[in-house]
């Protein structure tokens, strides 16, 4: 058994992972470097925001860590059905990468840990959440297979369940249940149980976080020099409009940050540099753009 608390092992992990992911992305870009902002939250804790922009490969992206604590805001205490004077700690890494080339997919991932404390300071509740999902603009089936296979290996026997949860979560319900992308894995409120101890869940979180670089960077390397034109950029920006809609209307992480007086620049880091909206736009039947829409539905990417 480990004598160090889950919190004291998870926090160094996300900071180390932030360093590794940023270094890998900078190497793939070859030009742009991450800008770092360290910030403090008046109510307790703070974070490290790292943003990359204007690169050879990455138009805009961020890899953020935060460890915030203090009194639970009343709106969250009501949601969790706990006394108003409850305290909490939330730690996590969140990233969104928007590439320049329309043939390179956007990617999102986060891994987080939450503790809720009683009046005496003891841990009253704890849970993990996280996942990763891919949002391509043009469907290149091998990329989806690679991404899903990597996280299937990281999740083991839980892949099918968490893939399904991802398919159900990243959906623009106001757009006739159109998926944001081609999914990945998503899980939340993973609490210790007889079947999975806190140590099991922590190791599961390590496995998923450590899978990110190998899930995404090979796709970037394969697609970053693909030729494209203005028509492909316009489609990319149109689809990014849907990405914005999901993040501002449905995303629980965004809403949590806004309700807990989070740092606005970090919360909205996920938004792309450029997006567009066209009135009642439909791609030409049989076009590569129309083909993508057929993949924005749940499908089996990796055979059981």
Active-site amino acid positions: 108
Provide CB contacts within 8 A for 150, sequence distance 6+.
Answer: 211, 214, 215
Give 93's strand partners: 65, 111
Please give the Cα distance from 295 to 143 (Å, whole number).
13
User: What is the residue whose two structure tokens read 């305290």?
Assistant: 87
Of 42, 130, 127, which Cα lies nearest the Cα of 89? 127
Backbone angles phi, psi at 264, to 5 degrees: -60, -40
Residue 69 CB neighbour total at 10 angstroms? 18
Cα end-to-end distance, the chain, whole Å: 33
Please give the Cα distance from 127 to 48 (Å, whole number).
22
């Amino acid at each position: 058994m480990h004598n160090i608390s889950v919190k004291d092992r998870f926090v160094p992990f996300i900071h180390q992972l932030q360093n590794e992911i940023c270094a890998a992305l900078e190497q793939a870009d070859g030009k742009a470097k991450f800008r770092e902002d360290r910030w403090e939250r008046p109510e307790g804790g703070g974070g490290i925001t790292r943003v990359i922009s204007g690169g050879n490969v990455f138009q805009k992206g961020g890899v953020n860590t935060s460890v915030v604590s203090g009194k639970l805001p009343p709106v969250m205490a009501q949601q969790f059905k706990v006394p108003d004077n409850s305290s909490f700690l939330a730690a996590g890494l969140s990233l969104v990468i928007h590439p320049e080339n329309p043939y390179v997919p956007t990617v999102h991932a986060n891994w987080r840990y939450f503790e809720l404390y009683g009046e005496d300071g003891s841990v009253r509740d704890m849970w993990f959440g996280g996942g990763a999902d891919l949002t391509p603009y043009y469907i290149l089936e091998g990329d989806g297979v690679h991404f899903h296979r990597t996280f299937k290996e990281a999740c083991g026997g839980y892949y099918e369940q968490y893939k399904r949860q991802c398919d159900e979560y990243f959906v623009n319900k106001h757009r006739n249940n159109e998926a944001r992308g081609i999914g990945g894995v998503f899980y939340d409120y993973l609490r210790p149980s007889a079947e999975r101890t806190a140590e099991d869940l922590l190791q599961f979180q390590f496995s998923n976080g450590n899978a990110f670089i190998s899930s995404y960077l090979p796709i970037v390397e394969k697609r970053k020099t693909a030729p494209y034109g203005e028509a492909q950029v316009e489609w990319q920006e149109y689809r990014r409009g849907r990405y914005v809609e999901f993040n501002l209307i449905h995303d629980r992480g965004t809403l949590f940050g806004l309700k807990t007086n989070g740092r606005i620049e970090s919360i909205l880091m996920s938004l792309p540099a450029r997006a567009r909206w066209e009135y009642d736009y439909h791609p030409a039947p049989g076009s590569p753009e129309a083909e993508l829409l057929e993949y924005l539905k749940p499908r089996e990417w990796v055979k059981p």
